[in-house]
Amino acid sequence: MSPSLREAGLFAGLALLVAGIFAWLGAAYGVRMLAEAACYAIIALGLTIQWGYAGLFNVGLMGFVAIAAFTTVLVSFPVNDAFWQGDGPVMLGQVALTLVIGVAVTILLSRSTRIGLPKGLRTALTLVAAAITYLAVQGQLDPAATLIEREAGFVGGLGLPVWMGWVAGGLVAGLLGWAMGRITLGLRADYMAIATLGIAEIVKAFLKNADWLTRGTLTVSPLPWPVPTPQELGFVASRSAYLAVTAVMIVVLYVLLERAWHSPWGRMMRAIRDNEVSAAAMGKDINRRRLEMFIVGNFIIGLGGAALITFTTIFDPSSFAPLNHTFLIWVMVILGGAGNNLGAIFGALLVYVIWIMSEPVAVFLFTTAEQWGESLFGWEAPSDLYTRALQMRVFVIGLTITLVLRFAPKGLLPEKVVKYD
Amino acid sequence: MPEAGLLAILPMNEIVFFLNKVVIAGFIIGSVYALGAVGVTLIFGILRFAHFPHGDMMTAGAFVALVLLWIFPGAGAAVGLPTAFVLMPIAMAVTALFAVGLDRTFYRPMRKAGVKPVVMVMTSIGVMLMMQGLLRLFAGTGTRQLYVDTDAKDIYRIPLGGRDLVITEPQLLLFATTIVAVVALHLFLTRSRMGKAMRAVSDNPDLARVSGISIDHVVRTTWLIAGALAAAGGTLLALDVTLKPDLSYNIILPIFAAAIVGGVGQPYGAIAGGLLVGFSETLAVFNWSVLLRPLRPYLPEFIEIPAKLAFVPTEYKIVVPFFILVAVLIWRPTGIFKGRVNI
């Protein structure tokens, strides 16, 4: 079967599936599902750059999504007057000033070998300066945080347009990726996985506990939308408008990524991925190129994550369950076909539809099993059967990953190998 | 007597508080990390990939012990130790066989196909998700007690003037098991044929293969040791605190940090790394004001002692192993015991 026929067939099947869901559960539900799937498709495109183009293993997806979503809240949430009129901004300004001075002194001291200080002394002085900076910032931040929480709740946003929030979210995610990449890209892939897992946990812990900044477990809602909200237009119309926005984003990203894939730059990336040693022998700066990929990928992941959280209208730091959602996206990419942009989009839509539908299916299966067990063996089911049934879906994600990697490592829409004569 | 005078001057209350909160607590959590990190570092050294489901293997070992507990409820009373501890060897054997089965089912086919190391890591993450799903499916998400013996936990209080030094029975058993495991592992790796073969494969697999070492044997032994130690660590941790499926997720990052700090492929390094990470965690969240308060009369007026002076707030404990990890990756990627970085 030719690749284009295969693509057409798979997408036609997907369209039939979606049409069935529209007919069964109604248009409002169907459009919501598609809009969320579109946001996941953007994230999957970002991941396919990292994994499919460059072979980078990012396990901290949810950390990057969370930090991008938080940046969106900070930029586009309405201004909180109680915060700006109180003493909070001044105190935060002092904290920022202390931080800037401390970081500057620390960096200067770390360069002090240039004026002839011995290396051991340099390291000691740098560490002491860093520790003092940390303690000073922490000491100033605590009263500021308490004051803001008492008087204003949290800092609120800047009230800027939503698209600016999304772009800012992507940029911050890219910046975090730059910092991570600088540390781990020179080392073997496993270290990168461990480090990204760690950074995701830290981002989550910070967003959850910094109540003055994010309201923590109290959550921030409703987030502003880039299109009229359901209250103004009704569910179907406003969700369709949102879907249109995300669809345009996907198309733009897809065109750009396809061009990048076929450009000399994309060819170089595949060369690095497939044979690092020979690419290095050709004079390519491998770690620098990988860093580029990691940052671009994280930017797109942040963009998609910001769009996803905006769609749900609520920013809840404890909702970024790292494992399920991170590996849901991984399944989208490897099942759809790593290194194939169309495959990533297809995988995202298909896997998300299945994921959404699997909840009622799992519950149905387990309630049936419970009834059978009760009537046949007198088995008394545990009371938390519903939550346990949902855990089954985690098992299925894991099983899909291992099966796809073993039996279909290229995915449903395999990478198109370009031959040069 | 001068000793008595010295004791009277020393703020024993605060020092014992420090010993309880930092030294004992750090040694306990460090031992658990060490038992996990030895397995991770052996797998890392011989099979060349980061084994993510290791935390879940520890949890699974603890759950095996729980199931054994239901089957033989009276085993502990006969010996006078906690039942779960008496049954732990069986749990270790079961988990060791389970680990070998895991390798046969999921990792060996991938190895035979000659995939890249990063694909192995992804497979291991798939296995991790499956194990987590299954554990939660069968055990629910609630918290259980592994210490079910009718008499309460034995708590030893050692009076040191002022506050008492407190150690519980499960903690003593944890210390003892860790020491026995470390000595046994050392003897195994340095004296037995198989142990030497394992070290040879870890150092240079090709050379080991041509000198007639059976790689399959070595791999199997690695999984047996890793599984058994993981089960011991998981059971003892669950015995000391409580047993819940989330146990694994909170310990996997410190375990990786311990393995990398100690140098990948270095079992002794993993033990040192585990203790280092454990002590760092307890030191970082310790409230240092407690130790500074007795100095109050000797300090000048302008220095205030805040009510809480910890390096890291308790809710950010996860940051500590991560920072150790990052610091090691930046300054000494080989770890303190010269492991390998690029294989």
Same domain, A348 and A266: yes
pLDDT over 90 at A317, yes or no: no
Same domain, A104 and A247: no
Q: Which of residues 231-290 of A touch B (CB under 8 A)?
A: none
Cβ pair A392:B121 closer than 8 A: no
What ipTM was predicted for this assembly? Answer: 0.84
Q: Given this model, what pLDDT does residue A41 score?
A: 95
**CATH number for the domain harbouring residue B50:** 1.10.3470
Q: Given this model, what pLDDT does residue B56 score?
A: 92
What does R_g of chain B's alpha carbons equal in angstroms? 22
Which of B118, B137, B319 has its CB closest to that of A388?
A: B137
Same domain, A146 and A197: no
| Residue A412 lies inside a defined structural domain of this protein | no
Domain boundary among A153, A182, A209: A153
Same domain, A235 and A94: no
pLDDT tens track for A234-279: 888 889 999 999 999 999 999 999 999 889 988 888 888 888 889 9
pLDDT tens track for B277-331: 999 999 888 877 777 777 777 777 666 666 677 778 877 888 888 888 888 887 7
Same domain, A384 and A394: yes
Range(s) of the domain holding residue A230: 3-80+154-407
pLDDT tens track for A143-155: 888 888 887 778 7
Q: Given this model, what pLDDT does residue A421 score?
A: 64
Which of B121, B129, B249 has its CB closest to that of A57?
A: B121
A392 to chain B: closest CA residue: B133
Q: Residue A4, exposed/middle/buried by CB under 10 A (0-12, 13-18, 19+)? A: exposed
pLDDT tens track for B199-248: 888 888 889 889 989 889 999 999 999 999 999 999 998 888 888 887 77
Cβ pair B133:A394 closer than 8 A: yes
| Residue A164 lies inside a defined structural domain of this protein | yes
A183 at B interface, C-beta within 8 A: yes
| Residue A418 lies inside a defined structural domain of this protein | no
Question: Which residue's entry shows tokens 């015995």?
Answer: B239
Q: Given this model, what pLDDT does residue B1 score?
A: 39
| Res. B2 pLDDT band, cuts 50 70 90 | very low
Domain count, chain A: 2
pLDDT tens track for A370-388: 788 877 776 666 666 777 7
Domain boundary among A125, A153, A181: A153
| Residue A415 lies inside a defined structural domain of this protein | no
Q: Given this model, what pLDDT does residue A65 score?
A: 93
Alpha-carbon distance of A283 to A309, in angstroms, equals 42
End-to-end CA distance of chain A: 24
Same domain, A73 and A126: no
pLDDT tens track for B188-197: 988 999 999 9
| Residue B339 lies inside a defined structural domain of this protein | no
Same domain, A263 and A249: yes
A382 contact residues in B (CB cutoff 8 A) = 140
Q: Given this model, what pLDDT does residue B75 score?
A: 73
Domain boundary among A153, A175, A199: A153
| Res. B341 pLDDT band, cuts 50 70 90 | very low
Same domain, A346 and A202: yes
**CATH number for the domain harbouring residue A337:** 1.10.3470
Same domain, A168 and A280: yes
B327 at A interface, C-beta within 8 A: no
Higher pLDDT, A374 or B149: A374
B306 contact residues in A (CB cutoff 8 A) = 139
The kind and range of the H/E element at A202 are helix A189-209
Higher pLDDT, B77 or A162: A162
| Residue B336 lies inside a defined structural domain of this protein | no
Q: Given this model, what pLDDT does residue A190 score?
A: 81
The model's pTM is 0.87
Which of B116, B118, B315 has its CB closest to that of A209?
A: B315
| Residue B125 lies inside a defined structural domain of this protein | yes
| Residue B337 lies inside a defined structural domain of this protein | no
| Residue A414 lies inside a defined structural domain of this protein | no
Alpha-carbon distance of B11 to A169, in angstroms, equals 52
Same domain, A93 and A200: no
A184 contact residues in B (CB cutoff 8 A) = 329
Higher pLDDT, A90 or B37: B37
Strands B155-159 and B164-168 come out as antiparallel
Same domain, A99 and A75: no
pLDDT over 70 at B9, yes or no: no
B326 contact residues in A (CB cutoff 8 A) = 183, 195, 198
Question: How many percent of chain B have pLDDT more than 70?
Answer: 90
Is residue B278 helix, strand or coil? Answer: helix
Q: Which of residues 15-54 of B touch A (CB under 8 A)?
A: 44, 49-50, 52
Paired tokens of B336: 């303190």
pLDDT tens track for A62-103: 999 999 999 999 898 888 877 888 777 888 888 899 899 989
Long-range contacts (CB closer than 8 Å, 24 or more residues apart) made by B293-301? B293/B14, B294/B11, B294/B14
A18 at B interface, C-beta within 8 A: no
Q: How far is CA A30 from the centre of its chain?
A: 23
Domain count, chain B: 1
A399 at B interface, C-beta within 8 A: yes
Q: Given this model, what pLDDT does residue A216 score?
A: 77
Which of A55, A188, A205 has its CB closest to that of B315?
A: A205
| Residue B232 lies inside a defined structural domain of this protein | yes
| Res. A1 pLDDT band, cuts 50 70 90 | low
| Residue B343 lies inside a defined structural domain of this protein | no
Range(s) of the domain holding residue B13: 2-331
- Closest Cα of chain B to A86: distance in Å? 25
Same domain, A132 and A252: no
A384 contact residues in B (CB cutoff 8 A) = 140-142
